[in-house]
Structure 1
Amino acid sequence: MLTIHHLGISQSERIVWLCEELGLPYTLQHHTRDAVTMLSPPALKALHPLGAAPVIVDGDLVLAESGAIVDYILAKYGGGRLVLGPDHPDFAQYLYWLHFANGNLQPVLGRNMVLRRLNLAADNPTLVATRGRLDLVLNLVEARLGVAEYLAGSVFTAADTMTVFSLTTMRTFFPFDLAPYPHIRAYLRRIGDRPAYRSAMRKGDPGMEPMLD
């Protein structure tokens, strides 16, 4: 049975949610951030040198990195679910949006978060450019969800499980307003209606209200 090492309020919610969507049995091991630094506890570094979540243990395998874990679980246990194959007309869209979260969305949110904490002047060129990049990325997501029910197309896939954290829980660390993005907000309401998402959030972060608007 899989063991998911989940750090509260983190990207590891992706893995809990994926397993709930697939109906996979798993053991959930909770880890709590340091109250002062908000960093991972030493127990995670004992599992993996980077000391970050998520980490899964599957038999003798210890695997980190949410994208790699998603690929591993889908390949080994997914049975073709939540993926689109090369013969599907939306295959390329699936691949693009599966990798978009860690390739574009999450990095630009992280850069904006760090720059905000530096209290730079509003006209600082780096800050202006980074904010502009965030607007560009969010507008791209908004445009996509204006023509598709889910990121890969008409069906829910792992591309959605990879992306939703950045639009929801990440706002705990870097608040940003979704009011200008009605299609994103409608999409998040659809996500919030999914029993597997609700179950994953209850199990992974029971004291946190999902940020779906």
Structure 2
Amino acid sequence: VHPLGKSPVLTDGNTTVAETGAIVEYLLEKYGNGRLLPAPGTPEALRYRYWMHFAEGSAMPPLLLTLIFDRVANGPMPFFVRPVARAIAAKVMDLMVRPNITRQLDFMEAELGRSLWFAGDELSGADIMMSFPLEAAAQRAGLDGRRPKLMAFLDRVHTRPAFKQALARGGRYDFA
């Protein structure tokens, strides 16, 4: 469906939309009836825009690197290459990836000290976008009870009826 073979892709009638953030915005603008979108021109609208883009532009890349370097370190390879590949992967993780993730998680934890949700006191599309990198961080990048605001955020997302309905319809998802 997408000329580059990318996913996710949404087809809605004659309209095709790619990229997660664009899909979320399209759905909210077309079908949201004003829900999950802060009022234009408000501080919440600016925070909404920031977190919509932060989710995939800043939060996801180091999480993807975690997945890649885990595969490099633990994937099949000739025995004589294994020690070098593992050493390189460990060094990149220790010097670049983990510190970046730690800074980002600390930043997000502090931001959730400002309000219940990322863009304010009401759930928004930005929270939907942020739930994915935070789920990935909880699964493979050390997000745990040391950051109670982020864990509480995930709990709030998980207890929402729409989240439960989505899981019932689509099944569990895996960040492997």
What TM-score comes out, normalization by structure 2 length?
A: 0.80
The percent identity for this pair of structures is 36
Query: What's the CA shift for 1:170?
Result: 6.5
Aligned residue-pair number: 162
Say which structure is richer in strand: 1
1:204 equivalenced with 2:170 (yes/no): yes
Q: What stretches of structure 1 of length at least 5 have no aligned partner?
A: 1-46
Equivalents in 2 of 1:181, 1:204: separation in Å?
Answer: 29
The correspondence of residues 1-213 of structure 1 with structure 2, limited to 5 A, is: 47-119=1-73, 120-121=86-87, 124-125=91-92, 127-168=94-135, 174=140, 176-205=142-171, 208=172
Equivalents in 2 of 1:75, 1:135: separation in Å?
Answer: 34
Deviates more, 1:136-145 or 1:176-185: 176-185
Equivalents in 2 of 1:169, 1:128: separation in Å?
Answer: 20
Say which structure is richer in helix: 2
Q: What stretches of structure 2 of length at least 5 have no aligned partner?
A: 74-85
Equivalents in 2 of 1:55, 1:157: separation in Å?
Answer: 21
Equivalents in 2 of 1:155, 1:89: separation in Å?
Answer: 13
Query: What's the CA shift for 1:183?
Result: 0.9
Equivalents in 2 of 1:136, 1:162: separation in Å?
Answer: 19
Larger radius of gyration: 2
Letter in 1 for 2:112: L
Equivalents in 1 of 2:173, 2:41: separation in Å?
Answer: 39
Q: In the alignment, is the contact (CA less than 8 A) between 1:112 and 1:127 conserved in 2?
A: no
Letter in 2 for 1:135: T
Q: What's the secondary structure of 2:112's corresponding residue?
A: helix
What is the aligned-residue RMSD (CA, Å)?
Answer: 2.4
Distance 1:139 1:131, change over 3 A: same
